[in-house]
Structure 1
Amino acid sequence: MTPFIAEIIGTTLLILMGNGVVANVILKGTKGNNSGWIVITTGWGLAVYIAVVVAAPYSGAHINPAVSIGLALAGKFDWAAVPMYVLAQFIGAMLGAAMVWLIHKDHFEITEDKVVKRSVFCNTPAIANRFLNLFTEFVGTFVLVFTVLYFTSASIEDTNAVVGLGSLGALPVALLVWGIGLSLGGTTGYAINPARDLGPRIMHALLPIKEKGSNGWGYSWIPVIGPILGGVAAALLMLALS
């Protein structure tokens, strides 16, 4: 499997399982309806675990543009490969979102709330405050990438090995994402991944969802810019501390 295909498959699985748990909790009539935030954060942690297990041996399982950029800036990943990884991550995110919609199509059709329907695909802040929403995404992604950089630093033995999220195994990363969600995710929904939000948001715009509402483009830049800035800040701090 090539790194490009691995990133597509890994990110597809990430969104299928991550957005899938959101759909199961918030859409009307599902078995998991109204089961709460802990179920969502646990589901996302397990989604990361699944994605990393599959993709790590082939691509390092970045599954997140902010991680690819942060690793490259820290000198742990080739800048020339970043565009290919980011493209694969967006393709995977869009495929995963389409699958979530198809699986839950009947539940989308009986759910009246347009914001709830959109929230299966992408983030909507609990309270709209552009500065604090951006800061939250920045901090959440900073914690993610800064910790991941130390995962990789602890395990680099072969300079020819692919470096990425899978370097110490999938479980620590899953626990990391779970912890970020529990502690920092309640205000914005913790995208902490530009592909995770923008790819599914694009699919929300394209798919024939019954009585869907706005795509929320006015907010869409926050889950893109915030995570990228957080990844960059994490890499710069690690370099400063090295």
Structure 2
Amino acid sequence: MSLGTVFLSEVVGTAMLLLLGGGVVANNILPKNKGAGTGFLHVNWGWGLAVFAGVLVSYKSGGHLNPAVTLGLVAAGNNEFVPGIAVNAMSIATYISAQMVGAFIGAVLCWLAYKKQFDDDAPAGAKLGVFSTGPEIRNPLWNLVTEAIGTFVLVLVVLASGNWGDSATKTPAGLGWLGALGVALLVVGIGASLGGPTGYAINPARDLGPRIAHAVLPIPNKGSSDWGYSWVPVVGPIIGGVLAGLMSGVLLPA
């Protein structure tokens, strides 16, 4: 296993995540779609299955797809991310940079799949909503708290499941399809329970990479990329993921 393999694995997995996750949002909120108006639960399930697909194709890297998961594993005290890849500054940077690149690529692919809908006279807010999250009631502090809580649940439950950690060796195991399905259902549950206030980014790469894509792509009448809010779905998930990693040592079996 090399860092190059890890980088490619995380890029492909996170691109798959954003292609399918962004796609279900586009299908739901952009006009002239077969799935237009099918509702938030439809989006929850779409994102869950997007996680399932992304985790499966990124098996070799452990299927993080999310800087909050990567940093949560660091906070939990893991010695390796996957066998042969020690936890250090270089490997952390490799994971997080790959996740950002993959999220950008996935968002671009989603735009290509829905280009005619983006070119149509859709509201600017709907176009941005395909790429990034936004709050229903804008209050940065409380929006931050919501994102931190949702990500705390994600990372703590993942660590509790044992999918990403061996308590004896502190070396994570790769996720098979059953583990990937468990994470997918967890994401559906978080969306259905905690996703309403902010759209549950629970992943800095999921929001920042596509927001950059929204800013640079030639989308007609796309409006603002809302950079004033962009720090919330980055900082909140990092706080939640790190707290979950730290708490795992107290709450979970040694």
Which category describes the TM-score, using the shorter chain as reference length?
over 0.9
1:25-68 superposed Cα distances (whole Å, 9 cap, x missing partner)? 00010110011011100000000011111112x00000000000
CA–CA separation in structure 2 for the residues paired with 1:108 and 1:63: 26
Aligned residue in 1 for 2:218: 208
| 1:42-81 aligned within 5 A | 42-56=45-59, 58-76=60-78, 77=81, 78-80=87-89, 81=91
Write the letter of the residue equivalent to 2:88. W
1:114 is matched with which residue? 124
Partner of 2:84: none
Q: Which residue of 2 aligns with 1:7?
A: 10
- Which residue of the other structure, out of 101, 107, 126, is the alignment partner of 1:97? 107
Match of 2:95 among 65, 69, 85: 85
Matched, 1:182 2:192: yes
Task: Work out the CA distance in 2 between the residues paired with 1:22 and 1:167.
Answer: 24
With over 3 angstroms needed to count, the CA separation of the structure-2 counterparts of 1:177 and 1:9, relative to structure 1, is: same
The partner residue of 1:227 within 228, 237, 242 is 237
Change (3 A) 1:219 1:225: same
Unaligned runs of 5+ in 1: none
Query: What are the Cα deviations for residues 190-238 of structure 1, in whole angstroms up to 9, with x where unaligned?
Result: 0000000000000000000011100100000000000000011111111
State the distance in 2 between where 1:154 and 1:213 align: 40
Q: Indicate how the Cα distance of structure 1 residues 168 and 151 shifts in structure 2: closer, same or farther if over 3 A, else same.
A: farther
Classify 1:165/1:202 alpha carbon distance in 2 versus 1 (closer, same or farther; 3 Å). farther
Query: Equivalents in 2 of 1:158, 1:87: separation in Å?
Result: 29
**Alpha carbons 1:74, 1:235 under 8 Å: kept:** yes
The residue number in structure 1 matching 2:250 is 240
1:157–1:144: structure 2 CA closer, same or farther, 3 Å change rule?
closer
Measure the CA separation in 1 of the matches of 2:18 and 2:52.
12
Alpha carbons of 1:168 and 1:68: their partners in 2 closer, same or farther (altered >3 Å)? farther
Q: Secondary structure at the match of 2:63?
A: coil
* Count of paired positions: 241
**Deviation (angstroms), 1:169:** 1.8
Out of 150-159 and 3-12, give the one that drifted further: 150-159
Could you state the TM-score of these two structures normalised by the residue count of structure 2?
A: 0.90
Tell me how large the CA RMSD over aligned residues is. Answer: 2.0
Indicate the SS of the match to 1:169: helix
Aligned AA (1:3): V
The TM-score normalised by the length of structure 1 is: 0.94
* Alignment map for 1:190-201 (pairs within 5 Å): 190-201=200-211
Identity of aligned residues (%): 53
Residues 185, 82 of structure 1: alpha-carbon distance in 2 compared, 3 angstrom cutoff: same
Residues 166 and 65 of structure 1, relative CA distance in 2, 3 Å threshold: farther
